[in-house]
Amino acid sequence: MDGNGRWAKARHLPRAAGHKRGAEAVRATVRAAAELGLEALTLYAFSSENWRRPEDEIIDLKGLLRHYVTNEIDELDRNGVRLKIIGDYTRFGSELVTMLEKAIVRTADNQRMTLVIALNYGAQDEIVRAVRKLLQDGVSAEAIDAAAIESQLDTNDLPPLDLLIRTSGERRLSNFLLWQAAYAELLFVDTLWPDFGAPELTDALADFNRRERRYGGL
């Protein structure tokens, strides 16, 4: 979800205003994803590299996350959306961790759609953790294959990744779902994240449906 800062700068607003508008885009996109019948939607909310940002911006992002969970959990639960977190979210402090874990437990049995929020997440770290876990469990190096690694990834209970969308015109993955994106379709759009919503998601799915996926075959 890229472009909050540029959206705010173009309007001579503080970056916090861009993040607030970005949270509104999250709400609209999650609602649209459920209505369109998506099985899972993963949002890259905070990367393991985002801790390098100014402290006041990190505080604003934490506040928005707290606000989103507090205000959206009833609707998510009512609409059958399961909440899942990937990444080491324990770094966000006990109050926010408790709030997230209560939301996870509350929505655990919902089956309409899974909303995955990546917090303090980095794909390279995820892969390293998966391999270390296998070795710690006594799995021999010769027995470690793709299936074994996938079983230890944060996304092990999710369907295969079909489509990865990056907003704001950037053309890189920025350490997001690197393993899972091996055969996913990639879509880079110029729309800044605060302007993303149901129409843009619908267009992205239409683009995806026009593609021919061969997975290395003919």
Which positions are annotated as active-site residues?
A: 2, 50
Q: What is the DSSP letter of 191?
A: S
Sequence-distant (≥ 6) Cβ neighbours of residue 116 within 8 angstroms? 40, 41, 42, 43, 84, 85, 86, 155, 158
**What b/e readout covers 164-196, taking b as 16+ CB neighbours within 10 angstroms?**
bbbbbeeeebebbbebbeeebbebebebbbbbb
**What b/e readout covers 103-115, taking b as 16+ CB neighbours within 10 angstroms?**
beeebeebeebbb
